[in-house]
Chain A
């Protein structure tokens, strides 16, 4: 049985994430132990809330170095929502803050206006479709394998990650015409802006793919 470590840093819906991974057949350990996290086989960084708060909570628990260390060892890593945002280099949410720097790029506010220049509602809440970025032809070999472009997943966010390098963009979505990067990848490192644990069958498929990633 695949053993997954979920990072517990006091932010986010850990129980829901745990339930979804268990449903997919993984054994879940919830941990805030730096040594344990560093030596895990699979690591999940969930999170709901503000960027600076998230980094502060990680820092106070001494978890920033262990996570970066884990990520350097070519083992599967999944950041969810705030967890994905913290994978980036920095964020502009309530001032400029450093992230984990696992993927080059920044986190910025979703544009206040839709594609026609009209104000739209922020946060972006609800189900939205996953699309292949222009540079990608397929999701085969990634955690999105078996998901068809157009399948929907659940979002709740006001800020969005902008990877600098095109190859790091795994999936995009359109919020009232505005393109947002909603899944990122760099080798074994994955991030999802949406909540796979709250996205029905499609989300479970993504979790299933993640725990089947060969190490």
Chain B
């Protein structure tokens, strides 16, 4: 088994890091750059920034935050929210992002996935899917931060996304997001079985056991954490050590010692 990636997800609204429950009822947490640097210093594997209102207002505020981040944070950075064109993607990559997460624009025009992966490589194209449970074993894709229904089946959409050239999938359970009650493991397992590309499980992590379950039973390749880190319920080191103690492969960390 290759190393499971531990990712901090930072949802951003305007200049602020925010956190909601089921993508609603947002609370201000602080300065995203400060949190990003802190997680980097603690040894997080990757960072994800999502501008959660950008699609709604059709704009993207993140560029300045991304530029500031890349000055002193030297790990992979994924940026999403409101990216609609190849030019938008180019601007974000030029600001220092390594990958982009695309949801709304891909649903409206799936060819965008291919355009991005052709131009910048599939390693750069992360398909972001917001999934809401319809019934047992069935999920519907949403967009605009869990506000808009699509009528599209999540698993079918994941497969199509892969066929269009997506290199990774960021799968967020709208039902579990912000609840700290654990990941939707059936969802993650179904998607992971359906596509041969890495899958990042997002939404619901409340404790270290939730992580172990989504890795062992859901077959997630990476986990995105928000609540547990932003509210300082767990440190990245605690998460890493617990994973290692349960025989989950995580990278060996060299602590900051410059």
Residues on A with beta carbons closer than 8 Å to the beta carbon of B5? 125-127
Instruction: Select one of B70, B121, B255 contacting A19, CB under 8 A.
Output: B70
A126 touching B3 by the CB < 8 A rule? yes
* Distance in angstroms between the alpha carbons of A136 and B119 in the assembled complex: 39
* Distance in angstroms between the alpha carbons of A204 and B72 in the assembled complex: 11
Residues on B with beta carbons closer than 8 Å to the beta carbon of A154? 75-76
B120 to chain A, nearest CB (A): 8
Q: Which of A133-170 contact B (CB under 8 A)?
A: 148, 150-152, 154, 156
B251 touching A13 by the CB < 8 A rule? no
Check if A199 is an interface residue, CB within 8 A of chain B.
yes
B238 to chain A, nearest CB (A): 18
A19-B252 CB under 8 A given contacts A125-B198, A203-B74: no
Residues on A with beta carbons closer than 8 Å to the beta carbon of B168? 125
B251 touching A152 by the CB < 8 A rule? yes
Q: Describe A's contact surface by its main secondary structure.
A: mixed
B2 touching A176 by the CB < 8 A rule? yes
A23 touching B74 by the CB < 8 A rule? yes
Give the interface residue-count category, chain A.
35 or more
A201 touching B258 by the CB < 8 A rule? yes
Contact bitstring A92-136, B, C-beta under 8 A = 1, else 0:
000000000000000000000000000111011111110000000
* Distance in angstroms between the alpha carbons of A128 and B5 in the assembled complex: 10
Check if B98 is an interface residue, CB within 8 A of chain A.
yes
Residues on A with beta carbons closer than 8 Å to the beta carbon of B138? none
B4 to chain A, nearest CB (A): 8
Check if A49 is an interface residue, CB within 8 A of chain B.
yes
B198 touching A200 by the CB < 8 A rule? no
Residues on A with beta carbons closer than 8 Å to the beta carbon of B197? 121
Chain A residue at minimal CB-CB distance from B197 = A121
Q: Which of A165-209 contact B (CB under 8 A)?
A: 175-176, 195, 197-204
Check if A15 is an interface residue, CB within 8 A of chain B.
yes
Check if B257 is an interface residue, CB within 8 A of chain A.
yes
7 closest A-B pairs by CB: A127-B251, A152-B251, A156-B123, A126-B5, A15-B96, A198-B76, A49-B121
Q: With contacts A19-B74, A48-B121 known, what are 19 further pairs, Cβ within 8 A?
A: A13-B96, A15-B70, A16-B70, A19-B70, A20-B74, A49-B120, A121-B197, A125-B123, A125-B198, A126-B5, A126-B221, A127-B5, A128-B2, A152-B251, A152-B252, A154-B76, A198-B75, A201-B257, A202-B254
